[in-house]
Amino acid sequence: MFAVVVVSIVTLVHISVSKIVAEQSRAQQQSHSPAMQLIIQQLMQPLHISQTLAKAKELKDLMLNPVENEEQIFVTLKRLNQEFSLNFFIASEISRVQYDSEGKKIELNEGKVDWYFRYKSQPENAMADIGQWQNPQFYIDLKIYDDEDNFLGVFGVGKSLNAFTQVFNEYKKTYGYDFIFVDQNKDITLTSDPELLIKGVTFKNLADLPWFQNLNPEQQQASLNNLLLQINGQEALIAELNIQPFDWTLYIITPLQSRQTEISRGFIISVVTLLAVIFGLFLLIYNLLYYFKKDIQKIKQIDILTELPNRSNITLKFEELMYEKQSMSLVLIDLDNFKPINETHGRKAGDIVLRQVAQMLQTDIRETDILGRWGGEEFILLMPNTGPHEAVELCQELCNKLGAMTITTGTTSIQITGSFGVSFTASPRTMSEVISAADDALFSAKRDGRNMVRMQLIDSD
Ligand SMILES: Nc1nc2c(ncn2[C@@H]2O[C@H](COP(=O)(O)OP(=O)(O)OP(=O)(O)O)[C@@H](O)[C@H]2O)c(=O)[nH]1
């Protein structure tokens, strides 16, 4: 039982530790997968939409003759806007005009529309940018070429930065972490911290942030992934992800306190579950032991062969009767010449004889009488409120019945007789005293030729 308990506890501890580790990993994964989702949904989707649309022949045809197709350009951009809920524009190299899905036109003059000429001179064909207007937008710009590889202009998709702020706020509320997107110059393009967002025409740079300034030059140059930081007096863990199509980097900043609360909550739940299971196990074992003990006690009180109350059971019953101050006749019944039965017919046959004699006696005694097996081939009969003479009479009847019994075991029939020694007590006495008198009577019955009843009273009775 002890081994079962130890093995159960070790198994439970093992399961709980595994659960805690799984909980930690789950928390870690849970904190990163929304960031991935965010990148895919908010950044990659507009990129893929614009990349697919940029390949359309219809777009190239429109951009080849922008002046003639101006009306059609606006119709197309409007249609895309309604279909994808994104802002679209075409910046034409031929007409040097930018057309957008809101129906606006902007002249692309050098020195005025800086982004177009900056981007035109760069080798990349795709670029992510933040529009520096009143309502800042996140833009994906794609260069368009004709079949002879002549530059036709830029096709772009724009998304309001307010949409990002909403998404960031949601993630911040749920997972407690901040996002900082930086471009190749480490200018902060998108972020969950409204303080760091682009103001007017000025981008904030990663190098402007106090926690970045606190890093040593080596750390500033290297990857910041898995770095522990002190931000506003709180410990935070940083994760770094490269967003290759734009050459941007995303920093996810997780305050450790929120992670610790999450992990310790998981730990507490596991420990409480473990304790509850151990307690439940303890109760179960305790109850099982209790019932086993009761059963064992029951088994111990009954003689297995004859199914009669055994010696200790009968002793208890005797004491109960003495405690109730009942008078009683006590009879010892010993089978005669039992040894030869065993020797002649085998011990198994002897057992059958003992069982059948027990059954016969049990059926023929009165309801108030208590029969038990005293040991070997000897039975005991307690006869409460029965005088010695009445007891002798009743025993004589039993003795006669016993002598008349034929016990069959297999093919052989066995005859048996018994000797009865009766004693009596009118007042409370020790059992050994009453037994001793019954033993004397039994000895007389054996000595006088067996198969008879003899009585021996205790001197003072
Ligand atoms: N088959 C069987 N024999 C038992 C059991 N308990 C005791 N005995 C046998 O009972 C026999 C008792 O023998 P003895 O004490 O010599 O008495 P007896 O042969 O009956 O002779 P008397 O009592 O003098 O008439 C022994 O051989 C015991 O081995 C039992 O549970 N089963």
What is the spatial distance between Cα 448 and Cα 93, in angstroms, rounded to a whole number?
A: 141
Q: What is the pTM of this model?
A: 0.46
Q: Are 149 and 44 found together in one domain?
A: yes
Q: Are 87 and 215 found together in one domain?
A: yes
Q: Are 249 and 329 found together in one domain?
A: no
- Indicate if ligand 1 lies below 6 Å from the C-beta of 177: no
The residues, any chain, with a CB within 8 Å of residue 34's CB and separated by 6 or more, are 171, 174, 175
Q: Are 227 and 315 found together in one domain?
A: no
State residue 132's pLDDT score.
Answer: 56
Element (H, E) at 159: strand 151-160
Q: Are 431 and 336 found together in one domain?
A: yes
Q: Which residue has the higher pLDDT, 34 or 115?
A: 115
Which stretch of 124-128, 247-251, 260-264, 450-454 has the lowest confidence by average pLDDT? 260-264
pLDDT digits (tens, 9 = 90+) for 165-187: 777 777 777 777 788 888 888 88
Q: Is residue 389 in some structural domain?
A: yes
Q: Are 81 and 5 found together in one domain?
A: yes
Work out the percent of the chain whose per-residue pLDDT is above 70. 88
Q: Are 406 and 277 found together in one domain?
A: no
Q: Residue 215 maps to which CATH number?
A: 3.30.450.20
State residue 94's pLDDT score.
Answer: 93
Domain coverage including residue 331: 311-455
Q: What is the gyration radius of the CA atoms in the chain, in angstroms?
A: 51
Q: Residue 450 maps to which CATH number?
A: 3.30.70.270
- Indicate if ligand 1 lies below 6 Å from the C-beta of 347: yes
Q: Are 433 and 316 found together in one domain?
A: yes
- Indicate if ligand 1 lies below 6 Å from the C-beta of 418: no
- Indicate if ligand 1 lies below 6 Å from the C-beta of 417: no
Q: Are 278 and 221 found together in one domain?
A: yes
Q: Is residue 304 in some structural domain?
A: no
Of 274, 299, 324, the residue that ends a domain is 299
Say if CB 424 and CB 461 are below 8 A apart: yes
State residue 1's pLDDT score.
Answer: 61
pLDDT at position 368 over 70:
yes
Q: Are 46 and 190 found together in one domain?
A: yes
Q: Is residue 461 in some structural domain?
A: no
Q: Into how many domains does the chain fold? A: 2
State residue 260's pLDDT score.
Answer: 63
Q: Is residue 148 in some structural domain?
A: yes
What one-character-per-residue DSSP string does 62-125 give?
Answer: HHHSTTTTHHHHHHHHHHHHHHHSSEEEEEETTT-EEEETTS-EEE--TTTSHHHHHHHHSS-S
Q: Is residue 290 in some structural domain?
A: yes
Q: Is residue 329 in some structural domain?
A: yes
State residue 247's pLDDT score.
Answer: 80
Sheet containing 97-100: order of strands? 105-107, 97-100, 87-92, 151-160, 137-145, 126-131
Which stretch of 27-36, 384-393, 399-408 has the lowest confidence by average pLDDT? 27-36
State residue 88's pLDDT score.
Answer: 92
Say if CB 450 and CB 419 are below 8 A apart: yes
Of 276, 299, 322, the residue that ends a domain is 299
Of 244, 271, 299, the residue that ends a domain is 299
What is the spatial distance between Cα 101 and Cα 80, in angstroms, rounded to a whole number?
A: 8
State residue 89's pLDDT score.
Answer: 93
Q: Which residue has the higher pLDDT, 290 or 134?
A: 290
Nearest CA to ligand 1 atom 14: 339
Q: Which of 306, 308, 339 to mutate to test the pocket of ligand 1 (most atoms within 8 A of CB)?
A: 339
Q: Is residue 460 in some structural domain?
A: no
Nearest CA to ligand 1 atom 16: 339
How far, in whole angstroms, is CA 32 from its chain's centroid? 25
Q: Which atom of ligand 1 is nearest to the CA of 342?
A: 1
The amino acid at residue 114 is: D
Q: Are 208 and 336 found together in one domain?
A: no
Which stretch of 130-134, 237-241, 248-252, 261-265 has the lowest confidence by average pLDDT? 130-134
What is the spatial distance between Cα 351 and Cα 413, in angstroms, rounded to a whole number?
A: 14
Q: Are 280 and 333 found together in one domain?
A: no
pLDDT digits (tens, 9 = 90+) for 81-123: 998 888 899 999 999 999 999 999 999 998 888 889 988 888 8
- Indicate if ligand 1 lies below 6 Å from the C-beta of 354: yes
Q: Which atom of ligand 1 is nearest to the CA of 350?
A: 1
Q: Is residue 305 in some structural domain?
A: no
